[in-house]
């Protein structure tokens, strides 16, 4: 018999790493690969296609099951997270962001595909999701034109992922389709919630993989696709041979189990055509891939003077030591790189001297080039041996200049230099500078969306934490030690505890009233006495706010229904002004707020904001609002008819 599990880890009787890992393991063995922590989705990579009731978990026929439903009403699924973000964007007219995190091989790329699949499909049906169908005001020709644009964008969004994967993904020892870059996809929506455009920004593309790969790994997929799928005529024109002939494809690992590179090449052409890349441009791209392979076979002979060593690539350096009173690691690295022939010893001395009082920096106990950084998830050790070389972007201006003289128009346009003369005189930006600039730009973009934990909107953290169950990429097998390490790195236990203790909703009174004022005759159609703000002492407890169904049943039986936060708020205002409220006696005195975890409607009235503890209470408010909208529309319509 199957052990009972919980779909939301917040409901665990006891919260500990062991309990979380055991629960995830039990669900994984039962093919329940998705689990909630409140609105956060935990995804454990199944390494296989899972079907339920004869259908794939991601069958498009299931999209309607998630459409228009609150997250707690759905089983854990990427579609549920996508629906949550989409509905909040529609309801609150605010940007949303979905963060998908996890280590290599945990399933981030596949999860992002499912999220994109849902958004692309549901946005084409957006007009049916609106309470007031805005498009009915448009002519049929205008509707068809909009639908054509939306469907075209939907097709491009779905087809863009395979193109990005071909040129940016590779097989590693941990993942057969590992993204070797960070990806930020920005979708643009019209007021009706339809996708009308988008951008894809990449971060830290692993360029060094082109020239060297670790044992058991491959170069980017596109090279193998080209060699396996190009026609005989194209191979002859581009002088292509077997993969064994190229230094850039040096390892024996040249195929992926279950993947046909010839078929992938044919599919890549179809996908590139679908996203708008012309046939001539596709041939130019393939030609440049062939040129890169040939370039890898060129051997340079030079005299080594001892000051040059093979450049060793640094994997992504994550958290930075940044402080207003001291330079960070990257700025200090840039400073030393600006000095010719900087030695490892000098750089290590500068680091040790600068960060001697920094608790996150750990100096090596023995003399050498090693230091450690205490990250959130643990201590990570770094070797300075080739920091300086890797930090210098070796694609020099002179090389750009020569390539811009190419007889190939595609190459000239690809490397077109649009910098001003003043910018051309500056030192080329270092790798760390480019990284910081990209990260800062990304943070600015994310800050324009709904922030996490500290929110000015009724938002739920739209994010997914992906977990890798084992190192061997085997379905049905779970390594609890490996999963425990990821649970620690992702901070899942802390996340559970924070969500148990905190409020899911925090909003200013003005915005709260703007959205929910139609639920009370005190605030609609005219808002009375709402200019006053409650003081810190004017806080209270909401009588148990039951689900909408329970409220309707109570009213049908003639019982007094529980008060909504909006009504309690007006009661407080009335109490301050000694004015009666409609339908309820003014409570005297006002009860100071006291947390009550058993009360579904537990809330707090702060100095400037309303705080609601449980998501179900907010969902009840939303349901009440949705039920009220048709009545309001009927009142407005009747008033308009009377005027006519």
The annotated binding site for ATP is made up of 102-109
User: Helix crossing, 431-447 with 329-337: angle to 10°?
Assistant: 150
Q: 476 preceded by cis ω (within 30°)?
A: no
Q: What crossing angle do the helices spanning 509-516 and 615-643 adopt, rounded to 10°?
A: 60
All residues at 6 or more sequence positions from 57 whose CB lies less than 8 Å from its CB, including other chains: 50, 51, 77
Cβ pair 89, 56 in contact under 8 A: no
CA terminus-to-terminus distance, the chain:
68
- Pairing relationship of beta strands 34-37 and 182-189 according to DSSP bridges: unpaired
Annotated binding site: 102-109
| Closest listed residue to residue 602, CA positions, set 592, 612, 587 | 612
What are the backbone dihedrals phi and psi of residue 196, each rounded to the nearest 5 degrees, phi first? -120, 0
**C-alpha dist (Å) from residue 576 to 33, 347, 512, 519, 571:** 52, 65, 20, 21, 9
Report helix, strand or coil for 361. strand
What does R_g of the chain's alpha carbons equal in angstroms? 29
| HEC readout, 273-321 | HHCCCCHHHHHHHHHHHHHHHHHCCCCCCCCCCCCCCCCCCCCCCCCCC
Helix (H) or strand (E) holding 373: strand 370-374
Q: How many CB atoms lie within 10 A of CB 41?
A: 27
Contact present, 327 and 335 (Cβ < 8 Å): yes
Instruction: At 372, give phi and psi (nearest 5°).
Output: -130, 155
Please give the structure tokens belonging to residue 298. Answer: 């060129």
CA-based nearest residue to 497, from 5, 20, 7: 20
How many helices and strands, by DSSP H and E, does the chain display?
22, 16
The pair phi, psi for residue 184, each rounded to 5°, is -125, 115
The answer to whether the bond into 589 is cis (omega within 30° of 0) is yes
The neighbour count for residue 445, using CB atoms within 10 Å, is 14
Q: β-pairing, 40-44 with 463-467?
A: parallel
């Amino acid at each position: 018999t199957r052990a009972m599990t919980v779909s939301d880890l917040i409901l665990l009787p006891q919260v500990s790493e062991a309990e979380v890992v055991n629960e995830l393991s039990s669900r994984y063995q039962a093919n329940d690969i998705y689990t909630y922590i409140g609105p956060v989705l935990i995804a454990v990579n199944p390494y296989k296609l899972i079907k339920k009731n004869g259908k794939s978990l991601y069958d498009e026929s299931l999209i309607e099951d998630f459409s228009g439903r609150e997250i707690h009403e759905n089983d854990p699924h990427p579609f549920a997270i996508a629906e949550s973000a989409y509905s909040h964007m529609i309801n609150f007219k605010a940007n949303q962001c979905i963060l998908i995190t996890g280590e290599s091989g945990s399933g981030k790329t596949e999860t992002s595909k499912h999220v994109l699949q849902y958004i692309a499909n549901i946005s084409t049906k957006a007009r049916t999701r609106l309470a007031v169908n805005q498009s009915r005001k448009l002519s049929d020709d205008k509707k068809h034109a909009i639908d054509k644009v939306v469907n075209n964008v939907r097709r491009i969004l779905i087809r863009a992922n395979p193109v990005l994967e071909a040129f940016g993904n590779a097989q590693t020892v941990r993942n057969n389709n590992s993204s070797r870059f960070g990806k930020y996809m920005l979708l643009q929506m019209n007021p009706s919630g339809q996708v009308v455009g988008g951008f894809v920004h990449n971060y830290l593309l692993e360029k060094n993989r082109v020239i060297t790969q670790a044992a058991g790994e491959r170069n980017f997929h596109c090279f193998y696709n080209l060699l396996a799928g190009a026609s005989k005529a194209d191979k002859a024109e581009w002088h292509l041979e077997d993969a064994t002939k190229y230094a850039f494809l040096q390892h024996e690992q040249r195929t992926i189990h279950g993947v046909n590179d010839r078929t992938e090449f044919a599919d890549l052409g179809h996908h590139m055509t679908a996203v708008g890349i012309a046939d001539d441009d596709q041939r130019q791209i393939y030609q440049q891939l062939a040129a890169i392979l040939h370039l890898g076979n060129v051997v340079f002979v030079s005299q080594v003077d001892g000051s040059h060593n093979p450049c060793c690539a640094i994997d992504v350096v994550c958290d930075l030591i940044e402080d207003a009173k001291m330079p960070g690691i990257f700025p200090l690295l840039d400073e030393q790189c600006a000095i010719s022939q900087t030695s490892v010893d000098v750089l290590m001395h500068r680091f040790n001297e600068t960060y001697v009082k920094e608790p996150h920096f750990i100096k090596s106990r023995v003399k050498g080039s090693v230091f450690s950084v205490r990250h959130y998830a643990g201590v990570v050790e770094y070797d300075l041996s080739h920091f300086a070389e890797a930090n210098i972007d070796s694609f020099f201006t002179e090389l750009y200049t020569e390539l811009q003289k190419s007889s190939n128009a595609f190459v000239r346009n690809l490397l077109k230099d649009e910098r001003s003369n003043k910018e051309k005189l500056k030192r080329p930006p270092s790798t760390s500078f480019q990284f910081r600039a990209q990260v800062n730009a990304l943070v600015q973009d994310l800050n324009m969306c709904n922030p996490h934990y500290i929110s000015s909107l009724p938002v739920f953290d739209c994010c997914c934490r992906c977990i890798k169950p084992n190192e061997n990429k085997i379905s049905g097998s779970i390594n609890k030690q490996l999963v425990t390490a990821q649970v620690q790195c992702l901070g899942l236990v802390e996340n559970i505890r924070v969500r148990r203790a905190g409020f899911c909703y925090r909003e200013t009174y003005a915005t709260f009233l703007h959205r929910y004022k139609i639920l009370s005759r005190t605030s609609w159609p005219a808002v009375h006495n709402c200019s006053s703000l409650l003081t810190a002492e004017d806080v209270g407890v909401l009588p148990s706010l039951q689900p909408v169904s329970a409220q309707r049943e109570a009213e049908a039986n003639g019982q007094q229904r529980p008060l909504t936060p909006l009504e309690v708020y007006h009661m407080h205002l009335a109490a301050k002004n000694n004015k009666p409220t409609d339908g309820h006696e003014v409570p005297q005195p006002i009860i100071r707020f006291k947390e009550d975890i058993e009360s579904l409607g537990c809330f707090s009235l702060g100095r400037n904001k309303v705080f609601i503890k449980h998501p179900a209470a907010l969902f009840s408010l939303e349901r009440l609002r949705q039920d009220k909208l048709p009545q309001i529309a009927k009142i407005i319509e009747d008033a308009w008819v009377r005027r006519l």
